[in-house]
Amino acid sequence: MSRQQILTRPEPVQLWVVIDETALRRPVGGVEVMRGQIEALIATAKLPNVRLQVIPFDVGGHAAAGGSYSILRFPDPELPDVVYIEQLTSAVYLDKREDVDQYTTAMEVMCVKAEPPERTFDVLDGILSDLHTHS
């Protein structure tokens, strides 16, 4: 919860997230937990500094199907972009330009394949509706 405060502080970070629809529909923790998670995503996506996109099932495989990662960009131009990959027992930070470029390109492809940000609420509302019919 304390990590989420960076989204609502006076000078919040900019967050752009692309989520696979599979992750949003996987039944983890039961219907009530899933409903709470989707509602939290809806609230977060309403923040002006947050852009959330969902890659629908029908896209099939995509550039990040192997796992999640984050691209960290800093306001200081002297600090290079960094790719952060969290693993089961550790984390990896990649800062070589060619590595960062590959992950950035993969992110760009996913953003194009994902539903546009203005459709995010429709997608999340549809998932919530499906959860209501299954409870």
Query: Residues 43, 82: one domain?
Result: no
The secondary element (H helix, E strand) that includes residue 120 is helix 120-133
* DSSP state letter for 75: S
Report the range of poorest mean pLDDT among 2-6, 15-19, 68-72, 111-115: 2-6
How much is the pTM? 0.84
Same domain, 51 and 87: no
The tens digit of pLDDT for each residue in 90-132 reads 999 999 999 999 999 999 999 999 999 999 999 999 999 888 7
| C-alpha triplet 103, 104, 108: angle, nearest 5° | 115
Residue with tokens 């304390």: 2
- Given this model, what pLDDT does residue 65 score? 60
How far, in Å, CA of 80 to CA of 59, rounded?
A: 32
Sequence-distant (6+) residues with CB within 8 A of 110 are: 18, 53, 55, 62, 63, 64
Residues 105 and 78 in one domain: yes
* Same domain, residue pair 26 and 52: yes
- Asked if 99 and 131 sit in the same domain, the reply is no
Please give the residue range of the domain that contains residue 73.
Answer: 62-109
- My answer on whether 51 and 83 are in the same domain is no
The predicted-structure confidence for 32-64, as pLDDT tens digits, reads as follows 999 999 999 999 999 999 999 999 888 766 556
pLDDT at 66: 67
Q: Take residue 66 and report the two structure tokens written for it.
A: 């192997």
Domain identity same for 123 and 98: no
